[in-house]
């Protein structure tokens, strides 16, 4: 049986676009009506906006969605390290300029992994931009730091050939698959092209050196945690936390810690790992829809 849209209904396709920010092509996914509330989706390591490929279609009828790729990730440009400062602070400035070019003055933000320090730096500079906050395995508390993350800093600081090699193991397929598969409830639900695509992009010449630089730079995120926590206490946004509780990178106590500063935070755990959307996109999308509609 073929159904047709009613006269008042409108389909919102997902667009795959690029925009130049200071001469660098930023790839992004966009969907929904720009007149509706904007949700900025900020990806993590070692992924890209591809991580949101299942979430975006589930929310596009109700919200305006933007999901950019950082330089060196996904399908954005990957300038050489001599021509681009691969730091979280610089990423935040490029995403802030991206939002300005898209005409976004206020938005809700979805933090995943690296998206948390990128997004918080934007909020620090421009607190008025934030409407509501959704956090999915994006850490802002010492309680959430795993031994995996602590080992990166230890090995980078040691700075021997052997210690550097240990960090570089995080840029190989075995580790990429580990991040996708560890702690999931059903490995057969994890699409292999997800981690294979991440790895193909990781294997581009020069990219692993970029990723090493970002692992080094992560220490400056940890140093900012107390200030970011204070900012969130001051702003007191509505917060939804949707967290893969078996994440080996950002631990469950990191999700619970949000309650210290924002006791009204709504928290939902899912029996999966770091990439919670790979298994629970439908359930998480419904939580987001209810949360945002209740607060706009």
For the CA atoms of the chain, what is the radius of gyration?
18
- Is-catalytic flag, 274? yes
Structure tokens at 209: 């050196």
Structure tokens at 121: 């730096």
Structure tokens at 174: 């075995």
Q: What are phi and psi of 88, to 5 degrees?
A: -65, -35
**List of residues 6+ apart from 127 with CB closer than 8 A:** 231, 234, 235
**List of residues 6+ apart from 120 with CB closer than 8 A:** 111, 140, 224, 228, 231
Q: Mark 81-92 as b/e (b = at least 16 C-beta within 10 Å).
A: eeebebbbbbbb
Catalytic residues: 274
């Amino acid at each position: 049986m073929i159904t047709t849209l009613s006269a008042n209904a409108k389909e919102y396709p997902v667009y795959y676009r690029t925009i130049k920010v200071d001469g660098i092509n930023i790839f992004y996914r966009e969907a929904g009506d720009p007149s509706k509330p904007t949700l900025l989706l900020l990806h993590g390591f070692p992924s890209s906006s591809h991580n949101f490929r299942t979430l975006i279609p589930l929310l596009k009828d109700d919200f305006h969605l933007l999901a950019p790729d950082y330089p060196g990730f996904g399908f954005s440009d990957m300038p050489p390290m001599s021509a681009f400062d691969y730091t979280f602070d610089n990423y935040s400035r490029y995403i802030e300029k991206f939002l300005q070019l898209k005409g976004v003055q206020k938005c809700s933000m979805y933090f995943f992994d690296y998206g948390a320090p990128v997004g918080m730096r934007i909020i620090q500079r421009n607190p008025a931009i934030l409407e509501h906050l959704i956090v999915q395995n994006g850490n802002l508390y010492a309680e959430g730091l795993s031994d995996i993350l602590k080992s990166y800093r230890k090995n980078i600081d040691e700075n021997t050939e052997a210690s550097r090699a240990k960090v570089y193991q995080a840029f190989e397929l075995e580790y990429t698959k580990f991040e996708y598969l560890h702690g999931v409830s059903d490995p057969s639900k994890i699409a292999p092209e997800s981690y294979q695509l991440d790895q193909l992009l990781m294997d581009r010449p020069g990219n692993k050196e970029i990723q090493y630089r970002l692992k080094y730079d992560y220490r400056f995120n940890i140093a900012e945690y107390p200030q970011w926590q204070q900012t969130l206490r001051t702003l007191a946004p509505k917060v939804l936390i949707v967290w893969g509780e078996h994440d080996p990178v950002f631990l469950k106590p990191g999700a619970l810690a949000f309650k210290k500063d924002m006791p009204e935070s709504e928290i939902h755990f899912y029996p999966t790992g770091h990439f919670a959307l790979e298994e629970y996109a439908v359930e998480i999308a419904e939580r987001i829809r209810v949360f945002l509609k209740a607060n706009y």
